């Protein structure tokens, strides 16, 4: 628990300016002076997440010898201020932020350069690889939001319904009448996110200490942006991605589409896939049997696919 609820003493937190001046909160956790780094690893979290939720996973990679960088997306975590709360209607600003951040990070850190991205972060990283084909030596997408899980609505109808719900300036309305982060919905939210009560409690612990970390529920405008962005993942575009990619998902995920993950893995030319039969959405914050297995698979993937990833 100490590593989940304490900032690493040797990590550096700072504001990284996006091209429009938006301050993105960034953590750089380098190897100790005099130690040879295995390489540099960038972690991108999901919607509503913040750096602290994944300190445990970052500690694992840091212990393995990586220089670790993580950040809060614009508009969430501490990458926002009182005058910057307008919800984005497009994913494009976040894709642009990621591209610029990757370029800056690569220029200032030793290779090889790898990335791990969760949920919405996986969507945005794949968008970057599809649209701009920024250079990464390897990438891992964990429970990636290739498409939102629209159940019980059929997948082909959900985007149209979302477009209709955004008519008449209704894009700021919540998809659910009860905010899924509220106390009344906590048990349902917990079941969807993780089977680890103590790790679920970590998020609430950080919320109590820094209320600005808590983000509201999904709006129709955000959902519309997600479906529109997913339209970029055509068979032709995915076929052009040359980065080795490991996709990890769960067939029981209630938030993202398991079928879309499987389709993307089949369409990407250099992809590996592992699906858990019964894990919740936050695989890297799951109970230890799943979490540790996923971390081992990520370690093994980087060891196989990234030149120089083993310390000699």
Task: Measure the CA angle with vertex 311, ends 308 and 312; round to 5°.
Answer: 95
Look up tokens 């091209």; give the residue: 19
pLDDT exceeds cutoff 50 at 311? no
Around Cβ 273, how many Cβ atoms within 10 Å?
Answer: 16
CATH of 12-305, one of 3.40.710.10, 1.10.10.10, 3.40.50.1820, 2.40.30.170: 3.40.50.1820
Question: Which helix (H) or strand (E) segment is 165 a member of?
Answer: helix 158-165
Contacts for 215 with CB less than 8 Å, ≥ 6 apart: 47, 48, 76, 77, 181
Q: Which pLDDT belongs to residue 287?
A: 97
Task: Compute the residue count for the chain.
Answer: 312
Give, for 214, the enclosing helix (H) or strand (E). none
In angstroms, the Cα distances linking 61 to 42, 70, 166, 296 are 10, 12, 41, 11
The structural domains of the chain, with segments of one domain joined by +, span 12-305
Model confidence at 1, in pLDDT bands (50, 70, 90)? confident
Three-state DSSP class for residue 247: strand
Is the confidence at residue 184, as pLDDT, over 70?
Answer: no
Question: Residue 206 phi/psi, 5° resolution?
Answer: -70, -40
DSSP three-state, residue 22: coil
Q: Which residue has the higher pLDDT, 155 or 36?
A: 36
Selection from 145, 253, 260, 149 nearest residue 193 by Cα? 253
Residue whose pair of structure tokens reads 């939210």 in the numeric block: 189
Supply φ then ψ for residue 111, to 5 degrees: -85, 175
Asked whether the CA dihedral 287, 290, 296, 297 is positive or negative, the reply is negative
pLDDT in tens, 211-249: 999 988 888 899 999 999 999 999 999 999 999 999 999
Tens of pLDDT, residue by residue over 106-150, are 999 999 999 999 999 999 999 999 998 778 999 999 999 999 998
In contact, 48 and 215? CB cutoff 8 Å: yes
For 129-160, the three-class secondary structure string (H helix, E strand, C coil) is HHHCCCCCCEEEEECCCCCECCCCCCCCCHHH
Q: Residues 250, 113, 296, 24: is their CA dihedral positive or negative?
A: negative
Can you give the pTM of this predicted structure? Answer: 0.93
CA 125/CA 119 separation, integer angstroms: 10
Tens digit of pLDDT for each residue in 257-301?
999 999 999 999 999 999 999 999 999 999 999 999 999 999 999
Distance CA 266, CA 194 (A): 27
Rounded Cα distance between 185 and 3, Å, is: 27
């Amino acid at each position: 628990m100490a590593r989940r609820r304490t900032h690493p003493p040797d990590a550096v937190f700072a504001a990284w300016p996006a091209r429009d001046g938006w301050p993105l909160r960034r953590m750089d956790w380098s190897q100790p002076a005099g130690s040879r780094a295995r390489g540099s690893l960038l972690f991108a979290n999901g919607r509503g997440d913040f750096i602290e939720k994944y300190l445990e996973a970052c500690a694992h990679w840091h212990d393995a010898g990586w220089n670790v960088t993580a950040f809060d997306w614009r508009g969430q975590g501490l990458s926002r201020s009182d005058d910057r709360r307008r919800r984005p209607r497009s994913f494009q600003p976040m894709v642009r932020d990621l591209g610029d951040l990757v370029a800056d990070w690569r220029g200032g850190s030793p290779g090889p350069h790898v990335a791990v991205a969760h949920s919405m972060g996986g969507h945005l990283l794949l968008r970057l690889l599809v649209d701009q084909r920024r250079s990464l030596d390897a990438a891992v997408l964990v429970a990636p939001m290739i498409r939102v899980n629209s159940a019980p609505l059929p997948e082909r109808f959900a985007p149209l319904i979302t477009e209709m719900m955004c008519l008449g300036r209704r894009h700021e309305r919540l998809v659910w009448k009860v905010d899924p982060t509220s106390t009344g919905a906590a048990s349902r939210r917990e079941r969807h996110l993780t089977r680890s009560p103590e790790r679920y409690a970590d998020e609430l612990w950080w919320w109590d200490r820094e209320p600005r970390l808590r983000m509201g529920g999904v709006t129709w405008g955000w959902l519309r942006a997600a479906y529109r962005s997913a339209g970029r993942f055509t068979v032709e575009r995915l076929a052009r991605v040359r980065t080795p990619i490991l996709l990890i998902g769960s067939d029981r995920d209630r938030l993202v589409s398991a079928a879309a993950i499987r389709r993307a893995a089949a369409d990407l030319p250099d992809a590996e896939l592992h699906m858990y039969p019964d894990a919740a959405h936050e695989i890297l914050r799951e109970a230890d049997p799943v979490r540790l297995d996923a971390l081992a698979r990520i370690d093994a993937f980087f060891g196989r696919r990234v030149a120089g990833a083993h310390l000699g």
